[in-house]
Structure 1
């Protein structure tokens, strides 16, 4: 067997390179911002590595990991996927098989017992060659707010590899955990955070408890460590209800336009989420002080829910309650938003003709797919279908446009994708302006009296949230703190010129709210917990 010094990793197959290039582009079109954090933790090619991540978005999770690993650190990831994805005459099946993906048989897909011995042998062979293999220890993808109990397959695979090298004191294998957090996993132009964690380094001399015959408790201990790392970087909630309240608390703590990174936003939201979860878990404690704190936290959650429901019923944002506008100012802003959205839409019309076939094909494909099964078995694959059908139809539009303009093909081969990209940028701003116009209009309908009532309710809630935030060791002045921390992504606190210049960035539009999607309404609701 090759020693660690000799391992150079499997050469990258050309279909894998093609897939990585295609979906780097496609993911950046579908998602507004993809932030990759701590990529320096990724071991270089030649070091055996098992990559683990939470799994809520089917094939999209794997594509995000593939494109989030710098090619100068790892030449490829050996993927795994459910065996039912193989052997089909579909583009998705071709993608999976061409990338050298290893099929995993799941019990839920077969009537009798399953045998994954060949899959484990293939993964061990890849690790022996110094490759990185990707596994999702939840064992399945699902549209759910909580991470499923992890299977022990990753720990057992690491144990098998360590046991083969029990007499090699220099051998090491690492488990590299990653947390994937989607703002809205299936919606166009939403945002994604990919957080890599410090690798778990395992060696025969340091981890003799993992050498065969390893005790089940030792395997479970490694699995618990994997879970703790993955869950520490994303939302892991017993209900959608708590996710919604945590996001509202985070928006009230760090108000709309606070200049902060997506990672900061996720960490703040997760901090509130963990506090809300702890209150539920402590509800059974006998201690009177604990009980008092739990009651107070339950009251805060109830008040937040009432406030959120009122915001949704009026169709306005918390920021409009926090900073009320005069009737004259509302009308002035409505006129500006209407003019700007009309202008952007008018210059987008030529590009929209190019986007129309892509949108129609994708909407139809997703509509038909949703009818193929229950919500819990299909919603985690919606983004995957949008990506694949959007890519195929987009390539067809590009090729068709080049062929129809053959005398000018050398120009249109670049002009068509450039036009489509700029149209997407303009339409994002157009939709955002239109959404703001309707929000301002609804603000007029709500009336001053109701807004004053909402403002009084918000003031009480904000005071409680700030007290909670300080007790959770969050900065007492988030706007000033994140401004000094140097986060550059967002910007009500930017200077006037810097803010306007960033608005016209060709790379991506400058969002003021990480919750934005390419929709005419604010996406703040979540599935029912009974779904």
Structure 2
């Protein structure tokens, strides 16, 4: 039976609306999959997700869960973010967020008790609310998910036990995988995948009623971890992530009509294969020589992909330039086109750039100071959060400041300024993409035919090995272009297949010029990751 869930406070509605706009500005695209699976208002639901981008993860969930499905998502955050005179603190508290005390935030002698908090969350669930929890317990900038805490499973057990007299009382665990192509970079992309919810009732799950065998808690926690992990880039190391992305680019090269979800799942498939091959072999395992040889072959392929990607990064070119080599006169012609187009877009962007300059300066300054406060693995997961918050505040100041400065025309400039800033962002994104292509072509000219020929032979060998692995061991389709274009190609970053379609969609809010999911708003493609410990 559906319950009457808590009404959405005005501050939560405002925050959701505001940050839906801000996230659209910061990230190039936010692709949401399977939001129709989310249980509606009135059905108790725990939303669980991986946690790699601090407060940004919560904002992504708040803005991607349809308001028609869930009018309110009760969030949780570390207690140390409450009670401060900062915009972030106000933002968290006004949205009805519940403070959670983390053992790592307090001294060994301090008492850390979340009993009252857990009781409050269970009361909210019994009202039919949706509660958001991050089972990893803390945000971290690592290639792999942290071991999950058992809190979600214990809450499910406690709520079912409190309602054991109602055998049909239902609570759902809605798992979600959040994948950032580059979590802290402007105009990168985000994939949000909602998985089929797990349903629990006292009648169907007596093993979760008290007194309970702790093994059942561990099993449920493992089920949650497995479902979240399979929907995102979760790997033992950054090296395996990098090699897996290189393998995916070779198997489905630039121009393949592939959705972001397909791309992430393809990279994840290679990660799974590489991770198994690199896993240490215990005594008595894999005694058959054929299995050991297969793993050795995959490990060598992974290492060779790393060497190849290193060479591409050193030259500053894409794999596609090696796959389809160009004649010198073709390179020169394309360089002329790219440079002319880039300079034209930069010239018409000058007025808008004057408005964007204070925003960029403020965010760059704040992030630079924040990075100094700790090591990479303890600060980089909050960079996107700082860019969002400071970008929002400085952007609002520019908007209202420019409106006041043009007071006689305020009725016009109030709407014209954000429109100009939005179109400037589009033009700059295209200009930088063209400039990036120009420099890539320039590097090709200076690379030398001998170097390019050597890379071409290396790629040909890698393509054969990746293709063999993909079809024989991973059962991937032989023709990725045909397969992915029919399964979801319309979500691909390129505009369209015809000139007319490209032209008509130039001003569309959904338009994205990128043809490579790896690109961000920078003069280079981000293919490396910070060297940190796991």
TM-score band, normalised by the shorter chain?
Answer: over 0.9
Q: Does 1:65 align with 2:61?
A: yes
Q: Distance in 1 between matches of 2:80 and 2:37?
A: 33
276, 279, 286: which one aligns with 1:278:
276
* Residue equivalent to 1:154: 152
* Residue equivalent to 2:510: 507
* Residue equivalent to 2:293: 292
Q: Distance in 1 between matches of 2:133 and 2:486?
A: 39
Aligned counterparts, 1:452-463, within 5 A: 452-463=453-464
SS at match of 1:324: coil
CA RMSD of aligned residues (A): 1.3
Conserved? CA contact 1:32–1:508, under 8 Å: no
SS at match of 1:255: coil
Conserved? CA contact 1:168–1:204, under 8 Å: yes
Conserved? CA contact 1:259–1:492, under 8 Å: no
Q: Distance in 2 between matches of 1:224 and 1:22?
A: 36
Aligned counterparts, 1:163-312, within 5 A: 163-281=161-279, 283-284=281-282, 285-312=286-313
26, 32, 35: which one aligns with 1:39:
35
Q: Distance in 2 between matches of 1:498 and 1:32?
A: 20
SS at match of 2:365: helix
Q: Distance in 2 between matches of 1:422 and 1:23?
A: 19
1:294, CA displacement in angstroms? 1.0
Could you list the structure 1 runs, at least 4 aligned residues long, displaced by more than 6 angstroms after superposition. none
1:495, CA displacement in angstroms? 3.9
Conserved? CA contact 1:259–1:494, under 8 Å: no
Structure 1 residues 344, 492: CA separation in 2 closer, same or farther (over 3 Å shift)? closer
1:448, CA displacement in angstroms? 1.3
Q: Distance in 2 between matches of 1:34 and 1:467?
A: 33
Q: Distance in 2 between matches of 1:122 and 1:412?
A: 47
* Residue equivalent to 1:442: 443
Moved more, 109-118 or 61-70: 109-118
Q: Distance in 1 between matches of 2:436 and 2:268?
A: 27
Which structure 1 segments of 5+ residues have no match?
none
Q: Distance in 1 between matches of 2:295 and 2:375?
A: 36
TM-score (norm 2): 0.97
1:529, CA displacement in angstroms? 4.0
Q: State the Cα deviation string for residues 136-164 of structure 1 (Å, max 9, x = none).
A: 00000000000000000001011111011
1:509, CA displacement in angstroms? 2.3
* Residue equivalent to 2:48: 52
* Residue equivalent to 2:478: 476
1:464, CA displacement in angstroms? 0.7
1:474, CA displacement in angstroms? 1.2
Which structure 2 segments of 5+ residues have no match?
none
Structure 1 residues 43, 506: CA separation in 2 closer, same or farther (over 3 Å shift)? closer
Q: State the Cα deviation string for residues 404-460 of structure 1 (Å, max 9, x = none).
A: 112211111110100000000000000000000000000000011111111011001
Q: Work out the number of aligned pairs and report it.
A: 527
Aligned counterparts, 1:285-364, within 5 A: 285-364=286-365
TM-score (norm 1): 0.97
Conserved? CA contact 1:182–1:192, under 8 Å: yes
Q: Distance in 2 between matches of 1:411 and 1:493?
A: 33
SS at match of 1:257: coil
Moved more, 45-54 or 468-477: 468-477
* Residue equivalent to 1:424: 425
* Residue equivalent to 1:101: 97
Conserved? CA contact 1:127–1:133, under 8 Å: yes
